[in-house]
Amino acid sequence: MPDRWLPPTPPVPATESGPVPAPPAKPQRSLLRRLLGPLIVAGALLLRLAGELKALIFLLPKLKLLTTSATMLVSVAAYALIWGWKFGVGFVALLFVHEMGHYVQMRREGIRPGWMVFIPFLGAAVGARSLGGNALAEARIGLAGPIVGTAFTALLLPIAWATDDPFWRALAFTGFFLNLFNLVPVVPLDGGRSMAALAPWMWFVGLGAVALLAFTFPNPIVLIILLLGAMETWRRWRARRSGEEGNPAYYKVRPLHRALVAGVYLALVVLLVVGMDATHLERTLSSV
């Protein structure tokens, strides 16, 4: 008698022809096929990559627009987080019009403008390899932004007066202030560009004003402008004194043209101050 009981062995399933045969063995892949497989995959990837590169080449002219649009949207979002989306859109629109003034004047001076880039809380800028062949061209480019920006901001005044909406007055006030601040006579601001044709020594006056503002009202943006202004002022003044970069021919401006630059500059300052006064909103503790 066995030590333990074992269950019976199950029968092998059968068909009409007998037991189910074992599955046939898979044939081994040939050595040539195993070698060509990875090469075929790599070739397909290269063809796909070549197609994407070809599409990228055709898109290169549009990258400038994409960069401008992307940075513009980022700036709108940044300003909207603090002052709301309406003000964010309006403020970025004011920046855009201001920079378009520079852009158009660059084209008129025979300069190929670069990308327009928006930097949240720092404004916007149009890249260029140069600002003209002389200080007068640089001044025209510098003044074009505030001229166009001031004219566009002035169009907000009838809307503000007709609707009596504080939003439009606040936006107009911001636009006037934006263009007035850019006229501070320190490079790389527009006022510094103007002083290249008017009186380069005013760079130091503007630099001192920015330094005083940074000391009185500490602000990261003002500190950045002060740092950039100090570096650019020192570089340009040293180049001007040493005769580099085509100096002093670069700064040679006829008295009539110098007078015209001074007239436009002073007229802009007066108009912007008057515009700020007309759109200023009284703020009290209850309105904050």
Which residue shows structure tokens 């200023």?
Answer: 280
- What percent of the chain has a predicted confidence (pLDDT) above 70? 70
What average pLDDT does this structure show over 95-115? Answer: 89
- Kindly report the average pLDDT of the chain as a whole number: 77
92-114 exposure pattern, b = at least 16 Cβ within 10 A, e = fewer: bebbbbbbbbbbebbeebebebe
Q: Is 199 exposed, middle or buried (0-12, 13-18, 19+ CB in 10 A)?
A: middle
What average pLDDT does this structure show over 21-32? Answer: 51
User: What is the pLDDT at residue 184?
Assistant: 93
| Domain count for the chain | 1
At 56, the pLDDT band (50, 70, 90 cuts) reads very low
At 31, the pLDDT band (50, 70, 90 cuts) reads low
Flag whether 273 is in a domain.
yes
**Which of 106-120, 130-144, 254-268 is least confident?**
106-120
Flag whether 5 is in a domain.
no
Q: Is the pLDDT of residue 175 over 80?
A: yes
What average pLDDT does this structure show over 102-122? Answer: 84
Flag whether 93 is in a domain.
yes
User: What is the pLDDT at residue 40?
Assistant: 55
Flag whether 33 is in a domain.
no
User: What is the pLDDT at residue 218?
Assistant: 81
Q: Is the pLDDT of residue 244 over 90?
A: no
Flag whether 15 is in a domain.
no
User: What is the pLDDT at residue 261?
Assistant: 95
Flag whether 23 is in a domain.
no
User: What is the pLDDT at residue 67?
Assistant: 60
Instruction: Write out the chain in H/E/C secondary structure.
Output: CCCCCCCCCCCCCEECCEECCCCCCCCCCCHHHHHHHHHHHHHHHHHHHHHHHHHHHHHHHHHHHHHHHHHHHHHHHHHHHHHCHHHHHHHHHHHHHHHHHHHHHHHHCCCCCCCEEEECCCEEEECCCCCCCCHHHHHHHHHHHHHHHHHHHHCHHHHHHHHCCHHHHHHHHHHHHHHHHCCCCCCCCHHHHHHHHHCCCHHHHHHHHHHHHHHHCCCHHHHHHHHHHHHHHHHHHHHHHHCCCCCCHHHCCCHHHHHHHHHHHHHHHHHHHHHHHHHCCCCCCCCC
At 74, the pLDDT band (50, 70, 90 cuts) reads confident
Flag whether 10 is in a domain.
no
What average pLDDT does this structure show over 213-231? Answer: 86
Please choose, from the candidates 183, 204, 205, the residue with its C-alpha nearest in 3D space to the C-alpha of residue 194.
Answer: 183
- The CA distance from 237 to 240, in Å, is 5
User: What is the pLDDT at residue 194?
Assistant: 93
Flag whether 1 is in a domain.
no
Instruction: Kindly report the pTM of this predicted structure.
Output: 0.71
At 150, the pLDDT band (50, 70, 90 cuts) reads very high
User: What is the pLDDT at residue 268?
Assistant: 96
At 80, the pLDDT band (50, 70, 90 cuts) reads confident
Whether 200 and 237 have beta carbons less than 8 Å apart is answered as yes
Q: Is the pLDDT of residue 22 over 70?
A: no
What average pLDDT does this structure show over 245-270? Answer: 88
The residue range of the domain holding 74 is: 53-279
